[in-house]
Amino acid sequence: MEPLKADYAYGDYTNIAAFTAPNVERGILFNGVNGDGQRARIIIPRVSLSLDGDFGWIGDEAAELSLTGEALFVSEMQSDADWGGFMRISLV
C-alpha cells in the first residue's frame, strides 16, 4: 500500500458575538397578516429578551431559537393615544 499524502488549508471565518449578556433590551417590529387576511404591523418599542433553553448550533435539521421576555413600559409614550405605554398595533 502506498503512503497517503494530504494537503489542506484553513478556510476564512468570521466571529460573531452572540448572547453576550443574559438579558438584552431592544425594540421589536412585526409585519404580517392576521387571521382575517388583513395586513398588520406590531411595534413593541422596548422589550427584555433572554435565551430560553438550549440552542443546537450544529445539526442536519433547522435549529429553533426560543426566547422569553416581557414588554417593558415606556413612560415617554404613556400619554400618546396611538402608542400607549407598551406597544402599538396598526392594521394596514
Sequential pLDDT tens for the chain (92 residues)? 677 777 777 788 787 777 778 888 999 999 999 889 999 999 899 999 988 877 777 788 888 888 899 999 988 888 877 778 888 888 88
Q: 61's torsion region: left (phi>0), alpha (psi -120 to 50) or beta?
A: beta
Q: What residue ranges do the domains of the chain occupy? A: 24-56+63-91
Give the pLDDT confidence of 6-27 residue by residue, as tens digits: 777 778 878 777 777 888 899 9
Distances (CA, A) of 47 to 3, 13, 38, 39, 59: 60, 32, 25, 23, 30
